[in-house]
Amino acid sequence: MRYGRTVPVTEEVALPQAPDEAREVFGECFPEAVRYAELLADAGVKRGLIGPREVPRLWERHLLNCAVLSEVVPDGVTVCDVGSGAGLPGIPLALVRPDLKITLLEPLLRRTNFLQEVVELLGLDHVTVVRGRAEEVLGTLQPVHVVTARAVAPLDRLAGWGVPLLRPYGEMLALKGDTAEEEINGARAALSKLGVVEAEVLQVGEGVVDPMSTVVRVVVGESPGGVRFAAKRAKAARVSRTRRRR
């Protein structure tokens, strides 16, 4: 059985009804998940946040693919979704994990406007939208336990943005494709300089998505971002404290 109504986007593209797995994964927030899918298929396409060809596979390739990331996110932690775009994976993760405190970090105004509208419409009180680049909020955004990302950049560049936002011993969870192992191997030197102590590939979503979602998990030690970013973070924090005193 499928749930929700079919939403026409153009004469040729329509949002399919939600698969059975969506009700199971999203649980009590299933109606909100349907509403989010409708928003992506309508306003998301009109504003250029997703391509119209993605609409027929929104559930399997996007919402469910992102929601199963929750399998490897610890309980009750703070999360920053870097380059959140249309809210993937941050919004699906927020729908299945109300125990998390999530920040959607996105530099483009049209995207942050959309994200803020979605957060308000879905009543996601545990989600905050912040406009900016990762390197710009360093020292002003409180360090988080987990950084998430999807289709943002190659691993070495992504780690350079996301790892410095972590707390000591935090982790970055990046949804990747078939080349995940190759990305890790090619980025080992860069990861080491950033204070990464562990990197592995995980498969999540068994029985929900086929193929399963591939996640690169990167764990940092006591100095996220390495020595260079520790100094930069400390300087930014001093500047922020000075501004608050004025």
- pLDDT bucket at 9, cuts 50 / 70 / 90: very low
Mean of the pLDDT values across residues 159-174?
96
What is the distance between the alpha carbons of residues 100 and 77, in angstroms, rounded to a whole number?
5
Mean pLDDT across the chain? 90
Residue 169 reports pLDDT greater than 70? yes
Q: Rounded mean pLDDT of 212-220? A: 97
Over residues 185-192, the mean pLDDT reads 94
Query: Token digits for 233?
Result: 């973070």
* Mean pLDDT along residues 114-121: 98
Instruction: Supply the pLDDT for residue 151.
Output: 78
What pLDDT shows up at residue 217? 98
Mean local confidence (pLDDT), 168-177: 96
| Backbone dihedral region for residue 178 (phi beyond 0: left; psi -120 to 50: alpha; all else: beta) | alpha
Q: How far is the C-alpha of 201 from the C-alpha of 46, rounded, in Å?
A: 35
pLDDT single digits (tens) 84-110: 999 999 999 999 999 999 999 999 999
Close Cβ partners of 31 (under 8 Å, ≥ 6 residues apart): none
pLDDT digit string, tens, across residues 225-234: 876 666 666 6
Beta bridge partners of 154: none
Q: What are the DSSP E strand ranges found in 24-155?
A: 78-82, 101-106, 127-131, 144-150
Distances (CA, A) of 4 to 10, 34, 62, 90: 18, 7, 17, 22
Q: What is the pLDDT of residues 31-58, one digit of tens each?
A: 999 999 999 999 999 999 999 999 999 9
How far is it, in rounded angstroms, from Cα 116 to Cα 118? 5
